[in-house]
Structure 1
């Protein structure tokens, strides 16, 4: 029998320096082996830190997202669980075919590539407005002034939130999405905000049933496939998923990505000189900075072997996509930022049937936001020592609490366009 090392992920990432620079931690985990043992939320389980095994499980139908589809498996749904939590754990991201395919087909009819691409002009306007406000400050907090409000404003408009409700809506989302709330006590304190957001979204769905508009909620309400439509709970769950997954990824992509450009001035200068590199730069930021570290767990539907290690039926697997993205066997010089990297087969948005539905939106927002930031500010410097930066305490999500930057403005419109 192949020996497998045991790891405690919470302990590995507990130290602030591990959150600030997880690369050595992931390298250590990959060195321990392709399959590790861990006690996680689902009991005794396995951890996969390497690229090959992570991709294999992501595309292997013998692994389920929904534990109820494992013979003898039980649901996380319990009688004492609040209704809103039961709704959230039944979201599309935790479903398997055919339920997953049904939901995804319906949502894809509403959340189309054309809808995302049509947002380009509006994202540009929001970006410029935010930069106008930021430019009045000697020190810009990139998170508070830019990375957080940009996707919040975009998603409010996408959903068709009435203009009069957008400021309180954005404030409510910010509270619900506060990813520092990771302890049971923090979750309990935040629970009333989740109830308020749930109530707000149900009123919005009712409004768009009665007064259809050119927005995502209306499109979700009207989406139909073979006579089938989303139930109200499915619709609300889908909006929650878009808020949690899409928003957090974009915030961290912009924040982490800009930080690494500042830390790698030769890469920053290359992007300034060759702005057409923005698409490959974004892919490299996704790979190197890992806005999302872990995808939803997978459960073995039968006895399986991975890299010579027996995986008993019913086992939970934690897939470290952040570690996979830093695997030197898949990415030459994986611990270096290279905005020209090609090919770049990262798994930051997952892989296979659960590939992130919001990936095009996150890419669009970053493709607009980062070049605009570089044009507006020909010089960007950390306003505090790097070791003073505060990181959110999630393992699954990697993002900054604040990113203070000293900036200098372009002296003229011509200078700005050339920057």
Structure 2
């Protein structure tokens, strides 16, 4: 049995598939992976919100895969990061980094983000064609999170390549190789910062590790890798997806061009309409449970889809069209509950400043190719464009 979540049609546009599945049942078994074993896919909004907070759904992948034969070779720093833990371990690790992503901490970063946006837009042609994914959506969040962690500028392009490889659907060897490359890199960077301390977030975590018992060396490496990857992947997709939505819907574009201050209030609707996270990271049932009206046995993967839930007509009227007047603050693009994305304030700030500057600098911005020619990344977890060709004038 083939995996429908890895087929080209799904990766190009998952929403028809989500809609058909949700109409059958908001929680449905689907075949996943090369074995075709069933996982339960959650596509309904109420069901997804409940699943995100149900303690019977564990994220402890080490426990799930213990004793199971596997031909995979993921580096432990990637396989067993903070996202793959439950309380109290998750609570302890998250507390160590939360302060770096509070609203106040992000506010202090805004001048740097604004400077980075301006620098990147300076590199785009004032007239002619440009790729907004390569020219803005990728380098902005990569630059910001690398700056926070103290990753040297010369290494940042390679970091992005490894990150992209980690989400390559259907290519396990490529994923495994990237996991070792990025983990080995972070080990080296940690040692370099031990020898030459700086004021980076990574150096702060090293101090926590070296001067107390709150963090093991393996956890330090794993946390550094997670921050590096998660700190830009979602935002890269968010910038590309949201810009495309605006360019495809002139009524929305007219709103933000007429009143740039509207961008902040529209971000949640843009996130709802085309979530940068299609399917949330791995969970499994520790015991039999019922979500919605579907009985789920113990010991099976449960896949929660924010992308599907955010298009649930039971929650949002006319969900398959973006609405500038919609109050979409309850969307699940950043997840929900204790695992909600801690980088959400940073992602929103980067997106707001990027969109505002882009549309101000290039008031005649428009797509350079028909929408149907755009290609999406080959990953079912993330929802993001490979490129976004535009005419700047």
What TM-score do you get using the length of structure 1 for normalisation?
0.86
1:405 aligned residue: 390
User: Where do residues 297-336 of structure 1 align in structure 2 (5 Å cutoff)?
Assistant: 297-336=282-321
User: Where do residues 33-182 of structure 1 align in structure 2 (5 Å cutoff)?
Assistant: 33-41=25-33, 43-67=37-61, 73-75=64-66, 82=73, 85-136=75-126, 138-161=128-151, 165-167=152-154, 169-179=155-165, 182=168
Is the counterpart of residue 394 in structure 1 residue 379 in structure 2? yes
Offset from partner CA, 1:158-199 (integer Å, 9 cap, x none) = 1112xxx412x1121121122596256x55356555444333
Q: Following the alignment from structure 1 to structure 2, what is the Cα–Cα distance between the partners of residues 116 and 77? A: 42
Q: Which runs of 5+ in 2 are unaligned?
A: none
Q: Following the alignment from structure 2 to structure 1, what is the Cα–Cα distance between the partners of residues 182 and 328? A: 41
Q: Following the alignment from structure 2 to structure 1, what is the Cα–Cα distance between the partners of residues 127 and 159? A: 25
Determine helix, strand or coil for the equivalent of 1:44. strand
Q: Note closer, same or farther for the CA distance 1:329–1:226 as it changes in structure 2 (3 Å cut).
A: farther
Cα contact 2:22–2:43 (8 A) shared by 1: yes
Q: Following the alignment from structure 1 to structure 2, what is the Cα–Cα distance between the partners of residues 179 and 293? A: 17
Cα contact 1:321–1:348 (8 A) shared by 2: yes
1:11 aligned residue: 4
Aligned length: 391
Offset from partner CA, 1:90-141 (integer Å, 9 cap, x none) = 1110101111111111222455443322111011111111111103451011
RMSD: 2.6
1:340 aligned residue: 325
The structure with more radius of gyration: 1
2:199 aligned residue: 214
**Comparing 170-179 with 103-112, which one deviates more in the overlay?**
103-112
Offset from partner CA, 1:264-316 (integer Å, 9 cap, x none) = 01101101112222222211111111111111232222221223332222222
Shift of the alpha carbon at 1:206?
Answer: 1.8
What TM-score do you get using the length of structure 2 for normalisation?
0.91
Equivalent of 2:222 in 211, 233, 237: 237
Q: Note closer, same or farther for the CA distance 1:78–1:136 as it changes in structure 2 (3 Å cut).
A: farther
Determine helix, strand or coil for the equivalent of 1:275. coil
Q: Following the alignment from structure 2 to structure 1, what is the Cα–Cα distance between the partners of residues 166 and 183? A: 20
Cα contact 1:180–1:393 (8 A) shared by 2: no
Shift of the alpha carbon at 1:76?
Answer: 7.7
**Comparing 30-39 with 187-196, which one deviates more in the overlay?**
187-196
Q: Following the alignment from structure 2 to structure 1, what is the Cα–Cα distance between the partners of residues 165 and 71? A: 24
Shift of the alpha carbon at 1:77?
Answer: 8.0
**Comparing 174-183 with 332-341, which one deviates more in the overlay?**
174-183
Q: Following the alignment from structure 1 to structure 2, what is the Cα–Cα distance between the partners of residues 234 and 283? A: 33
Cα contact 2:269–2:327 (8 A) shared by 1: no
Shift of the alpha carbon at 1:370?
Answer: 0.5
Q: Note closer, same or farther for the CA distance 1:152–1:138 as it changes in structure 2 (3 Å cut).
A: same
Cα contact 2:169–2:380 (8 A) shared by 1: no
Shift of the alpha carbon at 1:24?
Answer: 2.1
Shift of the alpha carbon at 1:224?
Answer: 7.2
User: Where do residues 254-333 of structure 1 align in structure 2 (5 Å cutoff)?
Assistant: 254-333=239-318
Q: Which runs of 5+ in 1 are unaligned?
A: 1-6, 409-419
Q: Following the alignment from structure 1 to structure 2, what is the Cα–Cα distance between the partners of residues 261 and 198? A: 37
User: Where do residues 223-234 of structure 1 align in structure 2 (5 Å cutoff)?
Assistant: 223=208, 227-234=212-219
Cα contact 1:252–1:399 (8 A) shared by 2: yes
Is the counterpart of residue 24 in structure 1 residue 31 in structure 2? no
Determine helix, strand or coil for the equivalent of 1:379. coil
